[in-house]
Protein backbone atom coordinates (compact mmCIF):
# COMPACT_ATOMS: atom_id res chain seq x y z
CA UNK A 1 0.00 0.00 0.00
CA UNK A 2 1.21 3.52 -0.77
CA UNK A 3 2.14 5.60 2.19
CA UNK A 4 -0.10 8.56 2.78
CA UNK A 5 0.87 12.16 3.13
CA UNK A 6 0.58 14.72 5.92
CA UNK A 7 -0.13 18.42 5.52
CA UNK A 8 0.72 20.36 8.66
CA UNK A 9 -1.51 23.39 8.23
CA UNK A 10 -1.55 26.67 10.11
CA UNK A 11 -5.21 27.48 10.78
CA UNK A 12 -4.42 31.13 11.51
CA UNK A 13 -5.08 33.08 14.69
CA UNK A 14 -8.78 32.27 15.14
CA UNK A 15 -11.20 33.89 12.70
CA UNK A 16 -11.89 31.15 10.19
CA UNK A 17 -11.32 33.11 6.98
CA UNK A 18 -7.81 34.10 8.01
CA UNK A 19 -6.49 30.68 6.94
CA UNK A 20 -4.35 30.69 3.77
CA UNK A 21 -5.88 29.72 0.42
CA UNK A 22 -3.54 26.72 0.27
CA UNK A 23 -4.54 25.66 3.78
CA UNK A 24 -8.24 25.67 2.86
CA UNK A 25 -7.50 23.79 -0.39
CA UNK A 26 -5.77 20.87 1.32
CA UNK A 27 -8.53 20.55 3.95
CA UNK A 28 -10.89 19.92 1.02
CA UNK A 29 -8.98 16.87 -0.12
CA UNK A 30 -8.08 15.32 3.25
CA UNK A 31 -9.21 11.81 4.23
CA UNK A 32 -8.52 12.59 7.84
CA UNK A 33 -8.30 15.90 9.74
CA UNK A 34 -6.67 16.07 13.15
CA UNK A 35 -7.25 19.46 14.75
CA UNK A 36 -6.49 20.99 18.11
CA UNK A 37 -8.15 23.39 20.48
CA UNK A 38 -6.86 26.59 18.90
CA UNK A 39 -7.92 25.74 15.34
CA UNK A 40 -11.36 27.19 14.58
CA UNK A 41 -13.77 24.23 14.07
CA UNK A 42 -15.67 26.32 11.50
CA UNK A 43 -12.83 25.41 9.12
CA UNK A 44 -14.20 21.90 9.02
CA UNK A 45 -16.86 23.21 6.65
CA UNK A 46 -14.22 22.74 3.93
CA UNK A 47 -13.84 19.05 4.81
CA UNK A 48 -15.26 16.31 2.62
CA UNK A 49 -18.46 14.88 4.14
CA UNK A 50 -16.77 11.48 4.48
CA UNK A 51 -13.54 12.78 6.03
CA UNK A 52 -12.60 11.40 9.42
CA UNK A 53 -12.41 14.26 11.92
CA UNK A 54 -10.35 13.84 15.08
CA UNK A 55 -10.24 16.50 17.77
CA UNK A 56 -7.14 16.45 19.95
CA UNK A 57 -7.54 19.05 22.70
CA UNK A 58 -3.95 19.11 23.86
CA UNK A 59 -3.41 19.64 27.56
CA UNK A 60 -1.41 22.73 28.42
CA UNK A 61 1.08 21.97 31.15
CA UNK A 62 3.57 19.33 32.05
CA UNK A 63 3.76 15.88 30.59
CA UNK A 64 3.97 15.02 26.94
CA UNK A 65 1.73 11.94 26.89
CA UNK A 66 -0.91 13.70 24.88
CA UNK A 67 1.63 15.11 22.42
CA UNK A 68 3.06 11.61 22.01
CA UNK A 69 -0.42 10.29 21.32
CA UNK A 70 -0.89 12.93 18.65
CA UNK A 71 2.46 12.04 17.04
CA UNK A 72 1.51 8.39 16.96
CA UNK A 73 -1.97 9.06 15.61
CA UNK A 74 -0.55 11.21 12.82
CA UNK A 75 1.93 8.58 11.69
CA UNK A 76 -0.59 5.76 12.01
CA UNK A 77 -3.20 7.50 9.84
CA UNK A 78 -0.63 8.39 7.17
CA UNK A 79 1.07 5.02 7.15
CA UNK A 80 -2.32 3.57 6.33
CA UNK A 81 -2.20 5.36 3.00
CA UNK A 82 -4.31 8.36 3.78
CA UNK A 83 -4.08 12.08 3.18
CA UNK A 84 -3.96 13.63 6.61
CA UNK A 85 -4.35 17.29 7.54
CA UNK A 86 -2.91 18.25 10.88
CA UNK A 87 -4.60 21.58 11.58
CA UNK A 88 -2.81 23.68 14.17
CA UNK A 89 -3.71 27.10 15.59
CA UNK A 90 -1.76 30.10 14.27
CA UNK A 91 1.44 29.08 12.51
CA UNK A 92 2.46 25.44 12.91
CA UNK A 93 6.09 26.38 13.54
CA UNK A 94 5.54 28.97 16.25
CA UNK A 95 5.36 27.26 19.66
CA UNK A 96 3.56 24.41 17.94
CA UNK A 97 5.75 21.44 18.97
CA UNK A 98 5.85 20.60 15.31
CA UNK A 99 9.42 19.27 15.56
CA UNK A 100 8.22 16.26 17.54
CA UNK A 101 5.51 15.49 14.99
CA UNK A 102 7.96 15.78 12.08
CA UNK A 103 10.49 13.53 13.78
CA UNK A 104 7.94 10.72 13.92
CA UNK A 105 6.93 11.27 10.29
CA UNK A 106 10.60 11.19 9.21
CA UNK A 107 11.16 8.00 11.17
CA UNK A 108 8.18 6.38 9.47
CA UNK A 109 9.18 7.67 6.04
CA UNK A 110 5.93 9.58 5.60
CA UNK A 111 6.06 12.61 3.28
CA UNK A 112 4.78 15.96 4.47
CA UNK A 113 4.30 19.62 3.61
CA UNK A 114 4.11 22.49 6.10
CA UNK A 115 1.65 25.28 5.25
CA UNK A 116 2.25 28.46 7.24
CA UNK A 117 -0.47 30.34 9.06
CA UNK A 118 -0.79 33.76 10.66
CA UNK A 119 0.57 33.43 14.16
CA UNK A 120 -1.40 35.05 17.00
CA UNK A 121 1.43 37.54 17.67
CA UNK A 122 1.24 38.86 14.12
CA UNK A 123 -2.57 39.07 14.02
CA UNK A 124 -2.41 40.93 17.33
CA UNK A 125 -1.11 44.13 15.71
CA UNK A 126 -3.61 44.09 12.86
CA UNK A 127 -6.61 43.37 15.09
CA UNK A 128 -5.83 45.60 18.09
CA UNK A 129 -3.75 48.51 16.84
CA UNK A 130 -0.96 47.50 19.25
CA UNK A 131 1.87 48.05 16.77
CA UNK A 132 4.69 45.77 17.85
CA UNK A 133 7.12 47.60 15.60
CA UNK A 134 7.16 51.33 15.13
CA UNK A 135 10.09 53.41 14.08
CA UNK A 136 9.56 55.77 17.02
CA UNK A 137 9.60 53.29 19.86
CA UNK A 138 10.25 49.71 18.79
CA UNK A 139 12.70 48.36 16.27
CA UNK A 140 12.45 44.77 17.43
CA UNK A 141 9.94 42.19 18.63
CA UNK A 142 10.67 39.16 20.76
CA UNK A 143 8.27 36.22 20.85
CA UNK A 144 8.69 34.30 24.10
CA UNK A 145 6.98 31.30 25.64
CA UNK A 146 5.56 32.17 29.03
CA UNK A 147 5.16 28.51 29.74
CA UNK A 148 8.68 28.17 31.02
CA UNK A 149 8.49 31.15 33.33
CA UNK A 150 7.90 29.13 36.45
CA UNK A 151 11.51 28.04 36.49
CA UNK A 152 11.70 24.70 34.76
CA UNK A 153 15.17 23.25 35.36
CA UNK A 154 16.07 23.25 31.69
CA UNK A 155 14.37 26.59 31.08
CA UNK A 156 16.26 28.85 28.75
CA UNK A 157 14.52 31.99 30.00
CA UNK A 158 17.10 34.72 30.35
CA UNK A 159 15.28 37.31 32.41
CA UNK A 160 18.14 39.75 32.67
CA UNK A 161 18.51 39.91 28.89
CA UNK A 162 14.72 40.17 28.42
CA UNK A 163 14.53 43.00 30.96
CA UNK A 164 17.16 44.89 28.97
CA UNK A 165 15.63 44.16 25.55
CA UNK A 166 14.21 47.25 23.96
CA UNK A 167 11.23 47.01 21.64
CA UNK A 168 8.19 44.79 22.23
CA UNK A 169 8.11 41.57 24.26
CA UNK A 170 5.29 39.19 23.38
CA UNK A 171 4.61 36.24 25.67
CA UNK A 172 2.63 33.27 24.36
CA UNK A 173 1.09 30.83 26.90
CA UNK A 174 1.82 33.25 29.71
CA UNK A 175 -1.49 33.96 31.44
CA UNK A 176 -1.02 31.34 34.16
CA UNK A 177 2.44 32.76 34.91
CA UNK A 178 1.71 36.46 34.51
CA UNK A 179 2.70 37.31 38.08
CA UNK A 180 6.05 35.51 37.69
CA UNK A 181 6.73 37.19 34.35
CA UNK A 182 6.06 40.65 35.81
CA UNK A 183 8.07 40.12 38.96
CA UNK A 184 11.04 38.57 37.13
CA UNK A 185 11.19 41.48 34.70
CA UNK A 186 10.93 44.05 37.51
CA UNK A 187 13.58 42.24 39.59
CA UNK A 188 15.86 42.25 36.60
CA UNK A 189 15.56 45.99 36.16
CA UNK A 190 12.58 46.71 33.85
CA UNK A 191 10.77 49.78 35.29
CA UNK A 192 7.50 48.82 37.00
CA UNK A 193 5.62 51.45 35.00
CA UNK A 194 6.50 49.86 31.63
CA UNK A 195 3.24 49.58 29.67
CA UNK A 196 1.69 46.11 29.44
CA UNK A 197 -1.40 44.78 27.70
CA UNK A 198 -3.00 41.38 27.52
CA UNK A 199 -5.10 40.53 24.49
CA UNK A 200 -7.37 37.48 24.64
CA UNK A 201 -9.26 35.73 21.82
CA UNK A 202 -7.43 37.69 19.14
CA UNK A 203 -9.48 38.03 15.88
CA UNK A 204 -12.59 36.51 17.51
CA UNK A 205 -15.69 38.61 18.21
CA UNK A 206 -14.93 37.97 21.90
CA UNK A 207 -11.52 39.69 21.71
CA UNK A 208 -10.74 41.54 24.96
CA UNK A 209 -7.86 43.73 26.08
CA UNK A 210 -6.63 44.48 29.59
CA UNK A 211 -4.05 47.21 29.87
CA UNK A 212 -1.87 48.74 32.52
CA UNK A 213 1.78 48.41 33.41
CA UNK A 214 3.87 45.40 34.36
CA UNK A 215 3.20 45.96 38.06
CA UNK A 216 -0.59 46.00 37.86
CA UNK A 217 -1.43 44.00 34.72
CA UNK A 218 -2.33 40.86 36.66
CA UNK A 219 -4.97 42.77 38.60
CA UNK A 220 -6.30 44.41 35.41
CA UNK A 221 -6.67 40.97 33.82
CA UNK A 222 -8.67 39.74 36.79
CA UNK A 223 -10.99 42.74 36.50
CA UNK A 224 -11.55 42.03 32.82
CA UNK A 225 -11.92 38.29 33.45
CA UNK A 226 -9.19 37.53 30.90
CA UNK A 227 -8.79 33.84 30.15
CA UNK A 228 -6.50 31.99 27.72
CA UNK A 229 -5.80 32.03 24.87
CA UNK A 230 -4.14 35.38 25.36
CA UNK A 231 -0.90 37.15 24.57
CA UNK A 232 1.00 39.47 26.89
CA UNK A 233 2.62 42.51 25.29
CA UNK A 234 5.21 44.51 27.18
CA UNK A 235 6.70 47.77 25.94
CA UNK A 236 5.64 51.16 24.57
CA UNK A 237 3.44 49.41 21.96
CA UNK A 238 1.02 48.47 24.75
CA UNK A 239 -0.38 51.97 25.17
CA UNK A 240 -2.18 54.54 23.03
CA UNK A 241 -3.30 51.99 20.47
CA UNK A 242 -7.06 52.71 20.64
CA UNK A 243 -7.13 55.01 17.62
CA UNK A 244 -5.86 52.20 15.42
CA UNK A 245 -8.08 49.52 16.91
CA UNK A 246 -10.52 49.32 13.98
CA UNK A 247 -11.63 45.80 14.87
CA UNK A 248 -13.06 46.54 18.30
CA UNK A 249 -14.61 49.80 17.07
CA UNK A 250 -16.96 48.13 14.60
CA UNK A 251 -20.59 48.97 15.43
CA UNK A 252 -21.57 45.37 16.19
CA UNK A 253 -18.35 44.50 18.00
CA UNK A 254 -19.03 42.76 21.30
CA UNK A 255 -22.73 42.29 20.53
CA UNK A 256 -23.97 38.76 21.04
CA UNK A 257 -26.55 38.12 18.35
CA UNK A 258 -28.75 35.05 18.46
CA UNK A 259 -29.58 33.54 15.07
CA UNK A 260 -32.69 31.40 14.85
CA UNK A 261 -32.91 29.85 11.40
CA UNK A 262 -32.10 26.30 10.36
CA UNK A 263 -28.51 25.16 10.98
CA UNK A 264 -27.01 25.95 7.53
CA UNK A 265 -28.94 29.24 7.49
CA UNK A 266 -27.47 30.14 10.88
CA UNK A 267 -23.96 29.51 9.55
CA UNK A 268 -24.56 31.81 6.54
CA UNK A 269 -26.06 34.53 8.67
CA UNK A 270 -23.34 34.04 11.32
CA UNK A 271 -20.65 34.80 8.73
CA UNK A 272 -22.30 38.13 7.95
CA UNK A 273 -22.43 38.97 11.66
CA UNK A 274 -18.73 38.12 12.06
CA UNK A 275 -17.92 40.38 9.10
CA UNK A 276 -19.34 43.28 11.11
CA UNK A 277 -17.55 42.30 14.31
CA UNK A 278 -20.56 40.78 16.09
CA UNK A 279 -20.66 37.45 17.87
CA UNK A 280 -23.24 35.05 16.40
CA UNK A 281 -24.84 32.54 18.75
CA UNK A 282 -26.68 29.77 16.95
CA UNK A 283 -30.04 28.40 18.08
CA UNK A 284 -31.57 26.41 15.21
CA UNK A 285 -35.36 26.43 15.32
CA UNK A 286 -36.31 24.34 12.32
CA UNK A 287 -34.89 21.89 9.83
CA UNK A 288 -35.36 21.95 6.10
CA UNK A 289 -36.32 18.49 4.90
CA UNK A 290 -37.03 17.01 1.53
CA UNK A 291 -40.61 15.96 0.96
CA UNK A 292 -41.44 12.32 1.56
CA UNK A 293 -43.59 12.33 -1.56
CA UNK A 294 -41.90 14.25 -4.37
CA UNK A 295 -44.11 13.00 -7.19
CA UNK A 296 -45.98 16.26 -7.79
CA UNK A 297 -42.78 18.32 -7.59
CA UNK A 298 -40.89 16.12 -10.04
CA UNK A 299 -43.79 15.95 -12.47
CA UNK A 300 -44.04 19.74 -12.41
CA UNK A 301 -40.36 20.04 -13.31
CA UNK A 302 -40.98 18.23 -16.58
CA UNK A 303 -43.63 20.71 -17.73
CA UNK A 304 -42.26 24.05 -16.61
CA UNK A 305 -42.63 25.42 -20.11
CA UNK A 306 -46.43 25.31 -19.67
CA UNK A 307 -46.24 28.21 -17.23
CA UNK A 308 -46.18 31.95 -17.83
CA UNK A 309 -44.67 32.69 -14.42
CA UNK A 310 -42.65 30.68 -11.92
CA UNK A 311 -42.49 32.20 -8.44
CA UNK A 312 -39.89 31.51 -5.73
CA UNK A 313 -40.54 32.72 -2.21
CA UNK A 314 -37.37 31.63 -0.39
CA UNK A 315 -33.69 30.82 -0.80
CA UNK A 316 -34.40 27.25 0.19
CA UNK A 317 -37.02 26.96 -2.54
CA UNK A 318 -34.40 27.98 -5.12
CA UNK A 319 -31.75 25.62 -3.75
CA UNK A 320 -34.07 22.62 -3.59
CA UNK A 321 -35.30 23.37 -7.12
CA UNK A 322 -31.82 23.37 -8.66
CA UNK A 323 -30.81 20.27 -6.72
CA UNK A 324 -33.83 18.47 -8.12
CA UNK A 325 -33.28 19.48 -11.75
CA UNK A 326 -29.61 18.47 -11.38
CA UNK A 327 -30.72 15.02 -10.27
CA UNK A 328 -33.00 14.80 -13.30
CA UNK A 329 -29.95 15.61 -15.42
CA UNK A 330 -31.55 18.81 -16.67
CA UNK A 331 -30.42 22.44 -16.47
CA UNK A 332 -31.85 25.94 -16.26
CA UNK A 333 -33.35 25.62 -19.77
CA UNK A 334 -36.32 23.86 -18.10
CA UNK A 335 -37.75 27.34 -17.55
CA UNK A 336 -38.12 27.76 -21.30
CA UNK A 337 -40.04 31.01 -21.87
CA UNK A 338 -41.57 31.15 -18.39
CA UNK A 339 -40.90 34.40 -16.55
CA UNK A 340 -39.47 34.24 -13.05
CA UNK A 341 -40.47 36.21 -9.95
CA UNK A 342 -38.86 36.28 -6.50
CA UNK A 343 -40.33 37.54 -3.26
CA UNK A 344 -37.23 39.54 -2.28
CA UNK A 345 -33.56 40.30 -2.84
CA UNK A 346 -32.29 37.37 -0.75
CA UNK A 347 -34.15 34.89 -2.95
CA UNK A 348 -33.07 36.82 -6.03
CA UNK A 349 -29.42 36.65 -4.97
CA UNK A 350 -29.66 32.87 -4.60
CA UNK A 351 -31.24 32.63 -8.04
CA UNK A 352 -28.38 34.74 -9.45
CA UNK A 353 -25.92 32.15 -8.12
CA UNK A 354 -27.43 29.80 -10.69
CA UNK A 355 -27.01 32.44 -13.41
CA UNK A 356 -30.74 33.19 -13.59
CA UNK A 357 -32.10 36.73 -13.41
CA UNK A 358 -35.51 37.41 -11.93
CA UNK A 359 -37.99 39.21 -14.19
CA UNK A 360 -39.80 40.65 -11.22
CA UNK A 361 -38.96 41.41 -7.57
CA UNK A 362 -41.39 43.61 -5.60
CA UNK A 363 -40.15 46.64 -3.67
CA UNK A 364 -41.99 45.54 -0.49
CA UNK A 365 -41.79 41.89 0.36
CA UNK A 366 -45.05 40.84 1.97
CA UNK A 367 -47.25 38.31 0.17
CA UNK A 368 -49.90 40.98 -0.19
CA UNK A 369 -47.55 43.54 -1.74
CA UNK A 370 -45.98 40.88 -3.91
CA UNK A 371 -49.37 39.98 -5.37
CA UNK A 372 -50.45 43.60 -5.81
CA UNK A 373 -47.20 44.76 -7.38
CA UNK A 374 -47.04 41.79 -9.73
CA UNK A 375 -50.55 42.74 -10.86
CA UNK A 376 -49.41 46.28 -11.56
CA UNK A 377 -46.38 44.94 -13.44
CA UNK A 378 -48.28 42.57 -15.71
CA UNK A 379 -51.73 41.24 -16.51
CA UNK A 380 -52.39 37.97 -14.75
CA UNK A 381 -55.81 37.07 -16.13
CA UNK A 382 -55.75 33.49 -17.44
CA UNK A 383 -52.00 33.35 -16.94
CA UNK A 384 -50.58 30.08 -15.63
CA UNK A 385 -48.58 30.65 -12.50
CA UNK A 386 -46.44 28.14 -10.61
CA UNK A 387 -45.56 28.72 -6.99
CA UNK A 388 -42.61 26.64 -5.80
CA UNK A 389 -42.34 26.89 -2.04
CA UNK A 390 -42.42 25.32 1.39
CA UNK A 391 -45.18 22.94 2.40
CA UNK A 392 -45.98 25.14 5.37
CA UNK A 393 -46.37 28.44 3.46
CA UNK A 394 -49.57 30.45 4.01
CA UNK A 395 -52.41 30.68 1.48
CA UNK A 396 -52.46 34.47 1.29
CA UNK A 397 -50.49 34.79 -1.94
CA UNK A 398 -52.50 32.08 -3.71
CA UNK A 399 -55.74 33.88 -2.80
CA UNK A 400 -54.53 37.20 -4.20
CA UNK A 401 -53.36 35.64 -7.47
CA UNK A 402 -56.57 33.69 -7.87
CA UNK A 403 -58.62 36.84 -7.33
CA UNK A 404 -56.80 38.29 -10.33
CA UNK A 405 -58.09 35.30 -12.30
CA UNK A 406 -54.70 33.69 -12.67
CA UNK A 407 -54.47 29.89 -12.81
CA UNK A 408 -52.28 29.00 -9.87
CA UNK A 409 -50.49 25.75 -9.11
CA UNK A 410 -49.03 25.80 -5.62
CA UNK A 411 -46.42 23.04 -5.49
CA UNK A 412 -44.45 22.16 -2.35
CA UNK A 413 -40.75 21.64 -2.95
CA UNK A 414 -39.58 21.11 0.64
CA UNK A 415 -40.87 21.16 4.13
CA UNK A 416 -39.67 22.78 7.35
CA UNK A 417 -40.05 20.90 10.59
CA UNK A 418 -39.76 22.56 13.94
CA UNK A 419 -36.75 21.56 15.97
CA UNK A 420 -36.81 20.75 19.69
CA UNK A 421 -33.62 21.95 21.36
CA UNK A 422 -31.77 21.71 24.65
CA UNK A 423 -32.76 25.07 26.12
CA UNK A 424 -30.80 25.16 29.41
CA UNK A 425 -27.67 26.45 27.67
CA UNK A 426 -29.50 29.34 26.03
CA UNK A 427 -31.56 30.18 29.12
CA UNK A 428 -28.37 30.44 31.14
CA UNK A 429 -26.88 32.81 28.56
CA UNK A 430 -30.05 34.93 28.65
CA UNK A 431 -30.02 35.08 32.45
CA UNK A 432 -26.32 35.98 32.47
CA UNK A 433 -27.00 38.82 30.01
CA UNK A 434 -24.86 37.12 27.39
CA UNK A 435 -27.35 37.72 24.58
CA UNK A 436 -27.92 41.27 23.32
CA UNK A 437 -30.13 40.71 20.29
CA UNK A 438 -32.39 37.96 18.99
CA UNK A 439 -32.95 37.98 15.24
CA UNK A 440 -35.89 36.46 13.41
CA UNK A 441 -35.74 36.02 9.64
CA UNK A 442 -39.13 34.36 9.07
CA UNK A 443 -42.43 33.56 10.80
CA UNK A 444 -41.37 29.88 11.02
CA UNK A 445 -38.31 30.90 13.01
CA UNK A 446 -40.60 32.78 15.44
CA UNK A 447 -42.81 29.72 15.75
CA UNK A 448 -39.88 27.37 16.25
CA UNK A 449 -38.15 29.64 18.76
CA UNK A 450 -41.16 30.08 21.04
CA UNK A 451 -41.93 26.36 20.86
CA UNK A 452 -38.65 26.03 22.74
CA UNK A 453 -38.33 29.17 24.85
CA UNK A 454 -40.87 30.67 27.20
CA UNK A 455 -41.92 34.19 26.16
CA UNK A 456 -41.68 35.44 29.74
CA UNK A 457 -37.95 34.76 29.83
CA UNK A 458 -37.49 37.05 26.85
CA UNK A 459 -39.97 39.73 27.87
CA UNK A 460 -38.46 40.05 31.34
CA UNK A 461 -34.93 40.45 29.98
CA UNK A 462 -33.27 43.52 28.42
CA UNK A 463 -32.74 41.57 25.18
CA UNK A 464 -33.68 43.41 22.00
CA UNK A 465 -35.64 41.83 19.19
CA UNK A 466 -34.86 42.38 15.50
CA UNK A 467 -37.12 41.19 12.69
CA UNK A 468 -36.42 40.91 8.98
CA UNK A 469 -39.73 42.36 7.83
CA UNK A 470 -43.37 43.18 8.56
CA UNK A 471 -44.69 39.60 8.24
CA UNK A 472 -42.20 38.30 10.80
CA UNK A 473 -42.85 41.32 13.05
CA UNK A 474 -46.59 40.64 12.91
CA UNK A 475 -46.00 37.04 13.96
CA UNK A 476 -43.88 38.25 16.90
CA UNK A 477 -46.42 40.85 17.97
CA UNK A 478 -49.23 38.29 17.84
CA UNK A 479 -47.21 36.20 20.26
CA UNK A 480 -46.90 39.20 22.61
CA UNK A 481 -43.26 40.01 21.89
CA UNK A 482 -42.19 43.63 21.51
CA UNK A 483 -40.22 44.16 18.30
CA UNK A 484 -37.41 46.71 18.68
CA UNK A 485 -36.37 46.97 15.04
CA UNK A 486 -37.79 45.81 11.73
CA UNK A 487 -35.43 45.85 8.76
CA UNK A 488 -36.16 48.26 5.91
CA UNK A 489 -34.48 45.99 3.43
CA UNK A 490 -35.66 42.47 4.12
CA UNK A 491 -32.32 40.68 3.89
CA UNK A 492 -29.69 39.59 6.41
CA UNK A 493 -27.68 42.70 5.66
CA UNK A 494 -30.81 44.81 6.04
CA UNK A 495 -31.43 43.19 9.41
CA UNK A 496 -27.87 43.93 10.54
CA UNK A 497 -28.10 47.51 9.22
CA UNK A 498 -31.19 47.98 11.41
CA UNK A 499 -29.39 46.62 14.48
CA UNK A 500 -26.34 48.82 13.79
CA UNK A 501 -28.60 51.83 13.45
CA UNK A 502 -30.30 51.03 16.77
CA UNK A 503 -26.92 50.56 18.49
CA UNK A 504 -25.59 53.88 17.21
CA UNK A 505 -28.78 55.75 18.24
CA UNK A 506 -28.26 54.80 21.86
Q: Which part of the chain contacts ligand SAH (CB under 6 A), choosing from 84-92, 271-279, 343-351, 380-388?
A: 84-92
Let me know: does 468 contact 442? Beta carbons within 8 Å. yes
Closer CB to ligand SAH, residue 173 or residue 252? 173
User: Is the CB of 27 or the CB of 118 nearer to ligand SAH?
Assistant: 118
Q: How far is the CB of 101 from ligand SAH (least distance, A)?
A: 12
259 binds ligand SAH (CB under 6 A): no
CB of 207 to ligand SAH, least distance (A): 8
Which positions from 95 through 124 interact with ligand SAH, judged by CB under 6 A? 95-96, 119-120
Q: Smallest gap, in angstroms, from Cβ of residue 338 to ligand SAH?
A: 51
One DSSP character per residue, 311-359 reads: EE-SHHHHHHHHHHHHHTT--GGGGTT-EEEESSHHHHHHHHHTT---S
> Would you count residue 198 as binding ligand SAH (CB under 6 A)?
no
Per-residue interface string for the shown chain with ligand SAH, residues 3-32, x marking contact by CB under 6 A:
----------xx------------------
Gyration radius of the chain's alpha carbons: 28
Q: Does 315 bind ligand SAH (CB under 6 A)?
A: no
**Closest of 91, 59, 52, 89 to residue 74, by C-alpha:** 52
Minimum distance between the CB of residue 118 and ligand SAH, rounded to whole angstroms?
A: 8
Write out the H or E segment, with its range, that includes residue 286: strand 286-289
| C-alpha to C-alpha distance for 32 and 19, rounded to whole angstroms | 18
Question: Known catalytic residue: 36?
Answer: yes
**Residue 373 Cβ, how far from ligand SAH at the closest point, in Å?**
48
Q: By CB under 6 A, tell whether 91 contacts ligand SAH.
A: yes
Annotated catalytic residue, options 3, 37, 58, 402: 58
Specify whether the CB–CB gap between 93 and 99 falls below 8 A: no
Among this protein's residues, is 58 annotated catalytic? Answer: yes
Name which position in 6, 144, 202, 385 contacts ligand SAH (CB under 6 A). 202
Closest to ligand SAH by CB, 16 vs 26, is 16
Cis peptide before 229 (omega within 30 of 0): yes
Question: What 8-state DSSP symbol labels residue 134?
Answer: B
**Residue among 4, 23, 89, 235 that touches ligand SAH (CB under 6 A):** 89
Residues 6+ apart with CB under 8 A from 71: 100, 101, 103, 104
Q: Among residues 156 and 505, whose Cβ is nearest to ligand SAH?
A: 156
Cα separation, 228 vs 242, in Å, equals 22
- Per-residue contact flags (x/-) with ligand SAH for residues 165 to 184, judged by CB under 6 A: -------xx-----------
> Which residue's CB atom is positioned nearest to ligand SAH?
90
Q: Is 201 in the site for ligand SAH (CB under 6 A)?
A: yes
In whole angstroms, the minimum distance from the beta carbon of 360 to ligand SAH comes to 47
The rounded Cα 351 to chain-centroid distance in angstroms is 23
Q: Is 2 helix (H, G, I), strand (E, B) or coil?
A: coil
Q: How far is the CB of 210 from ligand SAH (least distance, A)?
A: 12
Residue 494: count other Cβ atoms within 10 Å of its Cβ. 17
Quick check: 90 binds ligand SAH (CB under 6 A)?
yes
User: Closest distance between ligand SAH and the C-beta of residue 95, in Å?
Assistant: 4
* Active-site option among 31, 36, 201, 436: 36
DSSP-derived secondary structure letter, 200: E
Strands 464-467 and 279-282, sheet pairing: unpaired
DSSP 59: P
Whole-angstrom Cα distance, residue 281 to residue 489?
A: 23
CB contact at 8 A, 416 and 262: yes
Q: Taking CB under 6 A as the rule, does residue 443 contact ligand SAH?
A: no
Cβ(134)–Cβ(127) below 8 Å: no
**Under rule CB under 6 A, residue 262 binds ligand SAH:** no
Provide the 3-class DSSP secondary structure of residue 182. Answer: helix
Please identify every residue annotated as catalytic: 36, 58
Interface with ligand SAH by CB under 6 A: which residues?
Answer: 13-14, 38, 88-91, 94-96, 119-120, 172-173, 200-203, 228-231
Amino acid sequence: MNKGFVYLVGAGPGRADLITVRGAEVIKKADCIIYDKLANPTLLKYARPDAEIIHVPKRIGKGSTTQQEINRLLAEKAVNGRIVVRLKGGDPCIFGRIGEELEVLNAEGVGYEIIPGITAGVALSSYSGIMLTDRQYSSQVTFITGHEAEGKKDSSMDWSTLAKTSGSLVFYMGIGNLDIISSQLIENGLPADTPAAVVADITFPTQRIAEGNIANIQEKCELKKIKPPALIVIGQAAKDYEELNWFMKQPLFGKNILVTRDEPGNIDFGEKIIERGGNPVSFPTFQIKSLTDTTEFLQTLTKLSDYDWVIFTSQNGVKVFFEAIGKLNKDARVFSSAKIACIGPQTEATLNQFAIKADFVPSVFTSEQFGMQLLEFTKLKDKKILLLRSEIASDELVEILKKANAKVDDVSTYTAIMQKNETAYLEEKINNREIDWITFASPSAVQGFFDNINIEIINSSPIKIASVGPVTSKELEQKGVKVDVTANEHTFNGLLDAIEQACSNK
